[in-house]
Amino acid sequence: MRLTLPSPSIKIADMALRRQAGVTLTELLVGTTVGSLVLIGISTTYVLGARATTQNVEQARLNQELRAVLEIMQQDLRRAGYWHYASVTAPELQENPFQSTVNGVDHRLRTDKVSGEANESCLLYSYDLDATGAIGICKRNKDAPCLVTGSYFDKPPYDQEAMEMFGFQLKEQAVRMRLGRKDGADTTFTCNSGSWERITSNDIRITTLQFTIKTKEVNLKAGKESSACDTNDLCRETRWVDILMTGQLRDDPDVRQSLQATVDVRNDRYFIK
């Protein structure tokens, strides 16, 4: 009987197959752990990137809305004290009803506040919106001329609600714009009276709104032009308003923005000291 021995090449191949048959439990656990860590890292990077993108979009939207509100305030404030009938040659010799107290109502540029809000969070002013020379929004028609000679008010019929008394205020974390009086019985001009309309959206909270009025007086009395205004001196007052506004998203307080602006009031105020 003849015995046949396995060739060396067959034995080596068989040993190689046995070595590649699988992995140990330890190797499997290590591989699974490493794979999990890689997946967690990728997921975390994606979530952080998506969150950063969302916050950037929300920040841009907040910034855009606050700037739009600030632009509205700037454009309207520049008109404060405008009077259609003001003399070009000698405005200092006229009493401007939109920059003085008329029938006990103060129409000058001034700050105040809504009850419960911070000081100087409301600004009031007046100007001749319909260019009739008198206070009140006149309903123009040929049978009822607007201006009453010698009067500070338009001749009825005029819109009793849309008296030319304007302003901006902070109330309940929103910026509101004054449109006039509530009705004909509303004879006051304050931050706690009148008809106001919200101009910021519901998903934005305004945490700070502050108006600071700054003035500079120039003595117009002959011979005293370089002196400070004194009693009985005729003076010109230039004015500007610093605005500070801070807002944040209602659902994400971390997204916030602060804006500042300075508004030069175009119409100077003339008065006797």
Residue 171 counted as domain residue: yes
Is residue 218 assigned to a domain? yes
Residue 42 domain-assigned?
no
1 part of a folded domain: no
Where does residue 162 rank: exposed (0-12), middle (13-18), buried (19+ CB within 10 A)? middle
Q: How many CB atoms lie under 10 A from the CB of residue 212?
A: 13
pLDDT at position 11, please? 56
User: If we measure between CA atoms, which residue out of 181, 197, 82 comes closest to residue 132?
Assistant: 82
Given a cut of 50, the residues of the chain with pLDDT beneath it are: none
What is the pLDDT at residue 13? 55
Q: What is the pLDDT of residue 215?
A: 95
pLDDT at 88: 66
* Residue 166 confidence (pLDDT): 96
Q: Which are the contacts of 146, defined by CB distance < 8 A and separation ≥ 6?
A: 130, 132, 134, 138, 140, 154, 155, 158
Residue 14 lies in a domain: no
Task: Round the average pLDDT of the chain to a whole number and report it.
Answer: 83
Domain that holds residue 146: 52-272
Domain membership flag for residue 125 = yes
The model carries a pTM of 0.76
In a domain, 16, yes or no: no
| pLDDT at res. 3 | 53
Asked whether residue 128 is domain-assigned, the answer is yes
3-class SS shares of the chain: helix, strand, coil, % to 5: 25, 30, 45
pLDDT at position 165 is: 92
Number of domains in the chain: 1
Burial of 242 (0-12, 13-18, 19+ CB in 10 A): middle
Rounded-to-integer distance, Cα 243 and Cα 216, Å: 18
